A and B are shown apart, each in its own frame.
Chain A
């Protein structure tokens, strides 16, 4: 298994509170991605990173921000959680980017916003 750890694995939070999810890798891969998985929607890209301090938006980035201050960590922050952000969040890493090498996924974080 690729060395990817997501934390926490489960979280319940209240509407309006800030939440940060962490993705940690031990593979030294350049590319990191945050997806959310929802029934009927498959996986949708939130944000991704192509290097330290280099990030870009995906298709569902509203309400989310990310930071990558070092190669191994990619943080996803919900500034003010809403019920529509209840989802399972997956981090993925790739050595050369999706166009050149496969994505390896973490085991996900299940987030419930009440």
Chain B
């Protein structure tokens, strides 16, 4: 079935640094791709999405481009803030209106 793979391990960086979180996917057909964010003690929230190849999703300074040739949907932000500290999940649609998630990456931004 459709699945996503996120880079291993937490990400720690300084305020105003550039953030990249890698996400690659395996899928049949043409899934939609998503990034969700989870702040401490809360449920997940949709951060951005892309529904077809070459689409770029963007929100709150974050961007990700749906790359069919490399089966990737990497998340980037040019200048992170302490408030961006959270867990970030890559996800894609799979069969029958389900959403499959990656394992998540903890991002810690140090002042």
Contact = CB atoms under 8 A, between A and B. Distances in A.
Contact of B43 (A58, A90, A94, A98): A90
B49 interface: yes
Interface residues of B, number: 22
Interface residues of A, number: 28
Contacts of B97: 31, 48, 50, 94, 97-100
Interface in A22-78: 31, 33, 35, 40-45, 48, 50, 56, 58
B43 A105 contact: yes
A43 B46 contact: no
Contacts of B44: 43, 90, 92, 103, 105
**Interface majority SS on A: helix, strand, loop or mixed?**
strand
Contacts of A103: 44, 46, 99
A48 B89 contact: no
A102 B101 contact: no
B100 interface: yes
Given A42-B101, A43-B101, A107-B41, A99 B46 contact: no
